[in-house]
Amino acid sequence: MTYVKFNQHPAAKAFGGLVEDIFNNSGFKQALKDDFLTNDFFGAHPPVNIYEAKDGYTIELLVPGWAKEEIKINVENKALTISAEKAEKTAENKDEAPKQTRKEFGIRSSFKRSFNINEQVDAEKIQAKYENGILKLVLPKKETIQAAAKAIVVE
């Protein structure tokens, strides 16, 4: 009996290996799982709206379920950072805790968003208000003082 051996072209094997690495590699799956396929992606990055007016900027973050005492706002090195952290509540006695039969929403434990602010923003006058799950920050622009008109005499 004669055995016939077929050699696969190296380029076809390399391309097949590349495709396999892209779609079957755990790194690709892990990136999708960590970022987009879990609720944690949207929980860790609350949605934001930013508006600009002639007198300043307004930033709105959608952060329902947080107490205003848990939210921290910090301005440092031209960066505005908004963060919150919450300890997970646990029953003191596990035997007395009710059995959970369904869980469709999780407890958000933290979030952090940072924004670059320019020289126009007056960091000393930033105001924040939390109402109905929306954190609203008002970032006023610095007042521009125009120099008084000066007549120059030609000599």
Q: Are 143 and 121 in contact (CB under 8 A)?
A: no
State the CB neighbour count (10 A cutoff) for residue 90.
8
- The whole-number pLDDT of residue 55 equals 92
User: Per-residue b/e over 56-74, b at no fewer than 16 CB within 10 Å?
Assistant: bbebebebeebeeeebeee
Say if residue 40 is exposed, middle or buried (CB neighbours under 10 Å; 0-12, 13-18, 19+): middle
The architecture CATH gives domain 46-89+108-143: Sandwich (2.60)
For the chain, give the DSSP string. Answer: -----PPPPHHHHHHHHHHHHHHHSHHHHHHHHHHTSSHHHHHHS--EEEEEETTEEEEEEE-TT--GGGEEEEEETTEEEEEEE-PPP--SSGGGSPPP----SPPP-EEEEEEE--TTB-GGG-EEEEETTEEEEEEEBPPPPPPPP------
Q: So what's the pLDDT on residue 81?
A: 94
pLDDT in tens, 64-77: 888 889 999 999 98
How many Å is the Cα radius of gyration of the chain? 28
Residue 34 binned pLDDT confidence (cut-offs 50, 70, 90): very low
Residue 116, pLDDT score: 93
Burial class (CB in 10 A: 0-12, 13-18, 19+), 75: middle
The pTM of the full predicted model, rounded to 2 decimals, is 0.59
Provide the residue type at 43 as one letter.
G
Would the pLDDT of 28 be above 80? no
